[in-house]
Amino acid sequence: MIPSFLKHTSLICQFELKRFFATRKGLLYMITFAFIWYLILFYPIRFSSDFLGQQQNTPEGNSFFQFIGFGSLLNWRIPELGVYWHFSLVIFPLLTVVTSADQTCSDRNRGTLRFVCLRVSRGSLFFGRFSGIMLTQAILILASLLSTVALIAFRDTTLLSVAFNSASAIFLSLVIALLPFTAMMAALSATVQSARQATSWAILIWTFLAWIISIFSAYLPALNSLKLLIPGYQISNLSQLAEWQTLQLAYIPLLQTIILLSIGRWIIHRQSL
């Protein structure tokens, strides 16, 4: 019996997880990721939480953080998670672009996709790999969040329930925020010849597209809404929100993801393998 679309997608997704967690390349990435988060946890997050804890209830502290643009940090009940949130909003999208740039391009150049596409539809392949990358990101987010929660528990065990609550909000918001980045890389990967090209195009889209839209919207302000299509458009606003409020802007990345995945699927269906 031929497996269903969902079964194929799930098998491809599992194979992508294996690629990440059971191959040399994936392990190298994990070690790098763990090292980066070790540095972030033990320096900025740990020390800033002490500092923020002291400043949180003083008017001087409040105005200082508002002045440097990090006033939202004080809205978090647990400072460590506030700092984590700000770091993760920068680091995870960048890591996503790097890790998801090669969803199909190398395999297409090598001819490996032909072996897969003899057995599954291109749609299953596209969504399976996208799901695999997203699941990998979710696992990494979860791992880094749990280590942050452990750090909080080490400081004060009574904060554990609040920490889990806030961490859940962060987890959900971050996964949603990363969806359009992964979808954009999936679409680019289906188009270009290499992961490097996909990354270069992603950078061009972020910088030049935003710049061009800004220029044209000076003449026609309605065009400014096109920025909504650029993944990460909402991140600067997102950093100003705390805990479950962060989901207020979730509609933007979800909309972007739907559009980008539709484009990517359209491309891969028309692409010669």
Partner 1 sequence: MNAPIIKCHNLSHSYSGKTALSNISFTCESGEPIGLVGPNGAGKSTLLNILCGFMRSVSGDVTLFGHKPGASALSGRVSALPQDAQLDPAFSIGEQLYFYARLQGLSTPQAKHETSRVLEAVALKDVLKEKPSALSHGMAKRAAIAQALIGKPKLILLDEPTAGLDPVNMRKIRTIITELSPVTTFIISSHDLAELGRLCQQILLLDKGIMSTMQLNASENNKPTRFLTLQMEPCSAPDVQAKFNNIAGISRVSNPQKNEFIIEYNPEIQPSMDLTIITCINDNNWQYRQLSQGKTLEEKLFFDGK
Q: Which residues bind partner 1 (CB under 8 A)?
A: 1-3, 5, 8, 11-12, 15, 18-19, 23-25, 107, 110-112, 114-122, 270, 272-273
CB of 160 to partner 1, least distance (A): 39
List alpha helices for the chain, DSSP H.
5-21, 24-40, 46-55, 59-67, 79-99, 105-110, 112-117, 122-155, 160-191, 195-204, 210-219, 235-238, 251-270
CB of 263 to partner 1, least distance (A): 18
Residue 197 CA to residue 243 CA, distance in Å, equals: 36
CB of 271 to partner 1, least distance (A): 9
Q: Which two tokens stand for residue 80?
A: 């460590």
User: How many residues belong to the chain?
Assistant: 273
Residue 125 or 184: the one with the smaller Cβ distance to partner 1 is 125
Q: Which of 101, 59, 82, 194 is nearest to 148 (CA)?
A: 82
- Give the DSSP H/E element, type plus range, for residue 152: helix 122-155
CB of 159 to partner 1, least distance (A): 42
- Contact predicate 134/184, CB 8 Å: no
CB atoms within 10 A of CB 10: 17
Residue 32 or 75: the one with the smaller Cβ distance to partner 1 is 32
Residue 2 or 220: the one with the smaller Cβ distance to partner 1 is 2
CB of 120 to partner 1, least distance (A): 5
Q: Which two tokens stand for residue 147?
A: 């280590």
Residue 19 CA to residue 180 CA, distance in Å, equals: 22
Residue 104 or 147: the one with the smaller Cβ distance to partner 1 is 104
CB of 22 to partner 1, least distance (A): 9
Residue 86 or 122: the one with the smaller Cβ distance to partner 1 is 122
Residue 30 or 223: the one with the smaller Cβ distance to partner 1 is 30
DSSP 8-state assignment for residue 272: -
